[in-house]
Amino acid sequence: MDNPDNTVKPEHQEKDQSLRENVPHNAAQTATKKRPRSENDCPTEGAAKPRKIFKYGNYDRYYGYRNINETPKEDVRLQAFIAQKEMITGKQLLDIGCNNGSLTLLIAKHCHPARAVGIDIDGDLIGSARRHQTNMLKLCTENPDTFKALKHVEFRTVNYVYQDESLLASEKAQFDVILCLSVTKWIHLNFGDSAVKLTFKRVYRQLNEGGVFILEAQPWSSYKKKKKLTTAIFEQFKRITFRPDEFNRYLLGDEIGFREMFELKVADHTMKGFRRPIYAFRK
Ligand SMILES: C[S@@+](CC[C@H](N)C(=O)[O-])C[C@H]1O[C@@H](n2cnc3c(N)ncnc32)[C@H](O)[C@@H]1O
């Protein structure tokens, strides 16, 4: 057995300077701190409890909601990754916007990457991800391969969007697979068109030759539903000109340069809003 003393400390404590943190001041609090809808407004006395605003899509019950009616009761996207297992097994994987790590850990459990790094802008979610990993490790001590795969998952609080575009020049290729699932809308609404383009450029640079970028982008129609989440988001929304239906062409075009694109087969989600195509782009 790989783990005779039942030591379940994951390896997330290591610091890798190549993933710069750049986390906005309030990011980690957004999931827990109650705040009024507009960040400039104060709730009136005696008013109903202010609703939590998850301005980065940093929902603290995301998977409970997303997977509530699915059978089996795990993420419908997992099967699509299992079908592409050879793309992941023994490889270096990055999951941008991993939320509480549920899907990252499921992929690690079933597809055994050599190393997986889950990053999220929300430190509270990263805390949950680490606890989740510790619990999963406790449950799989009998299976050394799965134990090893789960132990080689690291979670870090990182804003993937650089504050300074010049940092791109020093970015090094280090991953074989990069996931960006249901995250682009939040990068877009908070940081704008240039941030989405910068994200794609960073992804390309971080991928090894032959590596794959897996993108599940939210459609424009879903942006409209969130445009009034905060006043800042509304201002950002009005400035957007680079729409999600242009992403694929952009990724394959001269500015980025992926060589090919293919679609991953995903079973239909029971909720229409979560039926989003997933595309893979090969460097
Ligand atoms: C809707 S959730 C999707 C979670 C997961 N990727 C999935 O599809 O199951 C979006 C996640 O992206 C994170 N996020 C948003 N903007 C981010 C950024 N700039 N850098 C890192 N994570 C970000 C949010 O905190 C949230 O957990």
pLDDT tens for the chain, 283 residues: list them: 333 333 344 444 334 444 556 777 656 444 444 343 444 444 445 567 777 899 999 998 877 666 655 555 678 899 999 999 999 999 999 999 999 999 999 999 999 999 999 999 999 999 999 999 999 999 988 889 999 999 999 999 999 999 889 999 999 999 999 999 999 999 999 999 999 999 999 999 999 999 999 999 999 999 999 999 999 999 999 999 999 999 999 999 999 999 999 999 887 777 777 788 999 999 9
Q: Would you kindly state where each structural domain of the chain is located, as residue ranges?
A: 76-282
Long-range Cβ contact pairs of 219-226 (< 8 A, separation 24 or more): 219/244, 219/245, 219/276, 220/244, 220/245, 222/185, 222/273, 223/185, 223/188, 223/189, 226/185, 226/189
Which numbered atom of ligand 1 lies nearest the CA of 100? 27
**Distance of CA 252 from the midpoint of ligand 1 (Å):** 23
Q: What is the C-alpha separation between 130 and 147, in angstroms, rounded?
A: 15
* Residue 125 CA, closest ligand 1 atom number: 27
**Among 6, 196, 214, 195, residue whose Cα is nearest residue 91:** 214
Question: Which residues sit with their C-beta closer than 6 Å to ligand 1?
Answer: 56-58, 62, 96-99, 103, 119-122, 125, 158-161, 181-183, 186-187
* Yes or no: domain 76-282 corresponds to CATH 3.40.50.150: yes
Please give the distance, rounded to the nearest whole angstrom, from the Cα atom of residue 135 to the centre of ligand 1. 22
Task: Select from 30, 32, 55, 56 the residue to mutate for testing ligand 1; criterion: most ligand atoms less than 8 Å from CB.
Answer: 56
**Residue labelled with tokens 């940081």:** 191
Cα–ligand 1 centroid distance for 5 (angstroms): 35
Q: In what order do the strands lie in the sheet with 260-264?
A: 153-157, 115-120, 92-96, 175-181, 207-216, 278-282, 260-264
Do the beta carbons of residue 263 and residue 277 sit within 8 Å? yes
Q: Whole-angstrom Cα distance, residue 176 to residue 95?
A: 11
Task: Give the predicted TM-score (pTM) of the model.
Answer: 0.86
Q: Which of 186, 223, 233, 274 to mutate to test the pocket of ligand 1 (most atoms within 8 A of CB)?
A: 186
Ligand 1, atom 2: nearest CA belongs to which residue? 57
Cα-to-centroid distance, 97 and ligand 1 (Å): 3
Quote the strand ranges of 173-274, DSSP E.
175-181, 207-216, 260-264
Residue ID of nearest Cα to ligand 1 atom 5 = 98
Q: Tokens standing for 239?
A: 């400035």
- Going from the Cα of 57 to the center of ligand 1, the distance in angstroms, rounded, reads 6
Determine the distance separating the centroid of ligand 1 and the alpha carbon of 218, expressed in angstroms: 12
DSSP 8-state class, residue 283: -
Burial level of 23, CB count in 10 A (0-12/13-18/19+)? middle
For atom 18 of ligand 1, which residue has the closest CA? Answer: 159
Closest CA to 175 of 253, 260, 95, 262: 95
Question: Does an H or E element contain 157, and which?
Answer: strand 153-157
| H/E segment holding residue 281 | strand 278-282
